[in-house]
Amino acid sequence: MSSRRFRLIRHQDVSGVSGTGPVAEGVQFTDGAVALRWYGDYPTTTVWDSIESVVAIHGHGGATAVEWLDPESGPDPELRLPPRESLPPRPWPDLHSTTERQDPDPLHSDRDLGPHGAAPPSAGPSSRVFR
């Protein structure tokens, strides 16, 4: 299966916020995860584990339906993803494990600024340039 587009169609506005008709669009990815983008005055994008999760939260007992825009293509025989349920829970890796934060601009370091963004008082003239 490749990613598949859909819309949420609201038949009854239970919450009184989104109105009726098409209220969101989304895509279901190959592994079953869903990205959902809401229309309206407060557009928001959310990510869900499955279309079933979206319907459980936003379906309001049948007041909202999923309208698939792409046909279900079936499994992709060349793509061998393990079932999501079989993956063990894992914490995110520490991608920023350095002993000290690297200063990208040592001549203009935030560490040299006072509590209000000003240069700290000095005993004499300084050759340092402050922004």
Q: Which domain does 26 fall in, by range? A: 4-71
- Let me know if residue 108 belongs to a domain: no
- What is the Cα–Cα distance from 28 to 67, expressed in whole angstroms? 12
Angle at 77 between CA 73 and CA 35, to 5 degrees: 50
- Let me know if residue 65 belongs to a domain: yes
- Let me know if residue 48 belongs to a domain: yes
Q: What is the pLDDT of residues 3-32, one digit of tens each?
A: 999 999 999 888 888 888 999 999 999 888
Helix (H) or strand (E) holding 67: strand 64-68
Question: Cβ distance 6 to 67 under 8 Å?
Answer: yes
Provide the pLDDT for residue 121: 57
Provide the pLDDT for residue 104: 66
Provide the pLDDT for residue 128: 53
- Let me know if residue 106 belongs to a domain: no
The 10 Å Cβ neighbour count of residue 57 is: 12
Is the per-residue pLDDT at 117 higher than 70? no
- Let me know if residue 31 belongs to a domain: yes
- What is the Cα–Cα distance from 91 to 103, expressed in whole angstroms? 27
**Count of structural domains within the chain:** 1
CA–CA distance from 85 to each of 81, 82, 88, 89, 125 (Å)? 11, 8, 8, 10, 64
Q: What is the pLDDT of residues 55-102, one digit of tens each?
A: 999 988 888 999 999 988 776 777 777 777 787 877 777 777 666 666
Q: What is the pLDDT of residues 27-52, one digit of tens each?
A: 999 888 999 999 988 899 999 999 99
Provide the pLDDT for residue 129: 53
- Let me know if residue 36 belongs to a domain: yes
Question: Cβ distance 38 to 26 under 8 Å?
Answer: no
Entry pTM? 0.59
* Residue 104 CA, distance from chain mean position: 28
